[in-house]
Chain A
Amino acid sequence: MSIHNPPAGWLKPPMGAERLWVGLALAWCIIMSIAMPYWHFYGKQNPTGESYKVTVADFAVRTQKFIAANKVGEETVPLHIGDQVLEEKVPIVEIPPGGDGYLLASMWKFRPILKMKMGQTYRLHISSMDLQHGFSLQPLNMNFQVLPGYDHVLTITPTSTGVFAIVCNEFCGIGHHGMTGRVIVE
């Protein structure tokens, strides 16, 4: 009975089916433990968590420099302020293949629009101006955390083309549900 003091001599090794199950479960746990390091050697999706401390101001300056040097166009998008709908021009910026791209998250926008080529590798730096945000690339469903004060570097290689949405998936205040951005892969 599990509510009474056990009889003396309760400490004994498992027998029969119970022993078999403990062994099977342990083997399965070992397989799962090996799978993660294994994928780091043989798989292609292995975030390393590469990141650097950075001040908000520094990261904003780097993003501006990146935009100025690599801007290839502009897109006019709606800007909601209260009940008013204004217009805003958002730069489209092509990351040089093998080079560094910057994405700045703030309440409640992602800047700039990023352009990449399929099969090329890029170092994408992501950080926040204010609160914590989420970088969620849809419909691929790849998700990463964005923190203020941390330059989060993702070394990514797009393997499909199209227009992708970035949606914020970390709660960041009342406008959170409208925080979206764009990635174009050709």
Chain B
Amino acid sequence: MASAVESLPISGNHPASEVRTCDTTSLPVCLTAQKFIRMHAVAAVVFLLIGGIAAILIGLTRWPAVHLLPAEWYYRLLTLHGLNMLIFWILNFEIAVLYFAGTVLLNTRLASRWAAWGCLGLMTVGAVMVDVAIAQGKSDVLMTSYVPLRASPWFYLGIILVAVGTLVGVINYFATIYIAKRDKTYEGSVPLVVFGATAAAIIAVVTLLHGAVVMIPTWLWSMGVLSQIDPAWYRITWWGLGHMSQQVNVCAMVSVWYLLGTLTTGASPLNQGVCRGAFVLYILFINLASAHHLLVDPGVGAGWKIWNTSYAMYLAVLASMIHGFTVPASVEVAMRKKGFNRGLFGWLAAAPWSNPGFSGFFLSLVIFGFGGGITGVVLGTQQINIMAHNTMRIPGHFHVTVVGGTTLAFMALTYYVVPLVFQRDFYAKALCRIQPYVFAGGITVMALGMSFAGSYGVPRRHWDVEFTGGQFAAGFDPGAHVMLGVMGVGALVAFVGLLLFILLVVAAVFTGPAIAGQAMQAWHEEPQAPADAATMAEEEHNTPGTVVLVLVFLTTFAVYYFANWKWLSDVWEVR
């Protein structure tokens, strides 16, 4: 932690009794914000547990050799899984990240306590409403609830309440930045993490407005007030919510990468202008991405699809590729300056891999880039999507973005949130140290199984690959069954990693040794560089290791991209 310590005087706008100085980082902590960060974090973990139990049950159902659940429970738990993981767990964690970035890093108080209560209340009531509506068996519509599939009105109302609650939280964040600026609680530009969090918040506003535009009429329709919702209109607008919310996750995740790079290795971005420019590219060019889900749809033409899927020359992809360089490069420079300057990868070998904050963050970076990023761009290519739409390739893609990427990054951050915000120490540190590896390994294997099964044509969201009861015989190559088995094994391992995480966090938060008034115990001993090592000079910025890493990445990307065009040329001709 020594690296992050740099004392800031408390000259913020806090009322005297509502601030404490962090015993580890010396940062000023707004106690109101701390209370809400704690509550949102607890809510997040509860939803993660609900979604996780659903996850293992549906995973074991799609493993043909196990085929656990009956059909109706498979679809019911699939609906539950999607909403609890993708919406309730992640949004609660993101609100916590916003409150942290807005107050602690800007040395300000939270703008409104009442808005924070409103946000928490609406999000919780809405989420419980959705979960109850699903459990009652009247809302088996999956997360996307494509019309004219109809759920209980409580299902749509619950989603609307969660969206409004989140919007209230996001506005409270903007208000917090505003009062920090007004009260001059910081000097110069905001820190990079705050900049990234703000980009996430801006995209979130646009996302939630799409949600309102699509969900309010659908709710009215479910009650019979409106007679009809156009299914093509629903898809294009719903994905303005559904896909863009994933861009909020990307933005929040990248901010967490920068935060953890600093907390675990003392990394400092080489060029903040480049990092910030990449966040601006996200805001400007990511908002059209709902097209990814409509590439083989009727109702929209090829020109619209091509323009919107590449969002003006893939500038949002460019942004991710830039972060994919700047994040590891900042770690490389930090490690080299500490004396780990040997060869191409001496810095990486000496990195604090026993620190779950570091291992979780770096594995998240690798899994998101090599797994999620590459597959995302390829599946989102207009013509290649013919071979991917609604197959298992799609969940194979997004489980390495939003789970292996975002969720893993948030887990890594939690290893700092518990000691620093809850002021509790973890039990069983050895288990904490291996948890990120177990989870990352499981998710990676699971997603590979999904992707390859999808390449054989196996549909996503489907109870039975044997098509029992179908009027015409259908089925898949034995290789597809092997891949679904690989997926099942990966799901089991990932579930163990998930349970481990939840048990460790719950034990620490509710019964862990209180450490208020003392610095947190560092997750790793600061490693000692060999005495004869040549330390990199302060003004140098050489990153040969990262250059090799990104060149390997680009080569992998290109090979997978062109291989898919080749496979496409083998299917029937279609216009």
List residues of chain A with CB under 8 Å of any chain B CB.
Answer: 1-8, 10-18, 20-22, 24-26, 28-30, 32-33, 35-37, 39-40, 43-51, 77-80, 88, 90, 109, 113, 121, 130-132, 134, 136-152, 154-160, 165-182
Contacts and interface: CB of A to CB of B under 8 A. Distances in A.
B272 A79 contact: no
A179 B388 CA distance: 19
A158 B383 CA distance: 17
B341 interface: no
Contacts of B554: 24-25, 28
Interface string B287-331: 000000011111111101110011001110110011001100110
B538 interface: no
B470 A6 contact: no
Nearest to B300: A49
Contacts of B569: 43-45
Contacts of A3: 4, 27, 105, 191-193, 259, 262-263
Interface stretch (B115-123, B444-452, B472-480, B516-524): B472-480
B500 interface: no
B206 to A, nearest CB: 23
Contacts of A141: 387, 391, 455-457, 571
A2 B192 contact: yes
Contacts of A177: 71, 462-464, 467-470
B99 to A, nearest CB: 15
A78 B471 contact: yes
27 contacts: A1-B4, A1-B262, A1-B268, A4-B191, A5-B191, A21-B547, A22-B318, A35-B381, A36-B309, A39-B383, A47-B575, A50-B298, A77-B472, A80-B469, A131-B148, A132-B146, A132-B148, A141-B387, A154-B575, A160-B572, A169-B459, A174-B71, A174-B72, A177-B71, A177-B467, A180-B473, A180-B474
B269 interface: yes
B315 A29 contact: yes
Contacts of A39: 383, 565
Contacts, number: 327
B213 interface: no
Interface string B543-561: 1101100100010011001
A147 B231 contact: yes
Contacts of A49: 297-302, 304-305
A10 B189 contact: yes
B297 A145 contact: yes
Interface in B342-371: none
B262 A2 contact: yes
Contacts of B525: none
A43 to B, nearest CB: 7
B541 A16 contact: yes
Given A30-B313, A43-B569, A45-B574, A169 B460 contact: yes
B474 A167 contact: yes
Given A2-B191, A11-B272, A80-B469, 17 more contacts: A4-B105, A5-B188, A17-B544, A29-B314, A32-B377, A36-B381, A36-B382, A39-B383, A43-B383, A43-B565, A44-B573, A45-B574, A134-B459, A141-B391, A176-B462, A178-B468, A178-B470
Nearest to B71: A174
Interface in B118-173: 140, 142, 146-149
B93 interface: no
B302 A32 contact: no
Contacts of A143: 296, 386-391
A140 B571 contact: yes
Interface residues of B, number: 114
A141 B463 CA distance: 18
A5 to B, nearest CB: 5
Given A141-B455, A156-B572, A33 B314 contact: yes
B190 interface: yes
Contact of A139 (B383, B457, B463): B457
B230 interface: yes
Nearest to B295: A47
A77 B473 CA distance: 10
B274 A18 contact: yes
A79 B554 CA distance: 52
A34 to B, nearest CB: 9
A178 B467 CA distance: 5
B75 interface: yes
A138 B477 CA distance: 10
B261 interface: yes
Contacts of B550: 21
Contacts of A80: 469
A17 B387 CA distance: 37
B553 to A, nearest CB: 10
B375 to A, nearest CB: 14
Contacts of B558: 28
B270 interface: yes
B187 interface: yes
Given A32-B377, A171-B142, A12 B299 contact: no
Identify the 5 closest CB pairs spanning chains A and B, nearest first: A51-B298, A169-B459, A152-B298, A165-B474, A29-B314
A13 B391 CA distance: 43
B327 to A, nearest CB: 10
Nearest to B190: A5
Contacts of A29: 313-315, 317-318, 321
Given A148-B231, A169-B390, A177-B463, A14 B191 contact: no
Interface in B476-514: 476-477
A138 B470 CA distance: 14
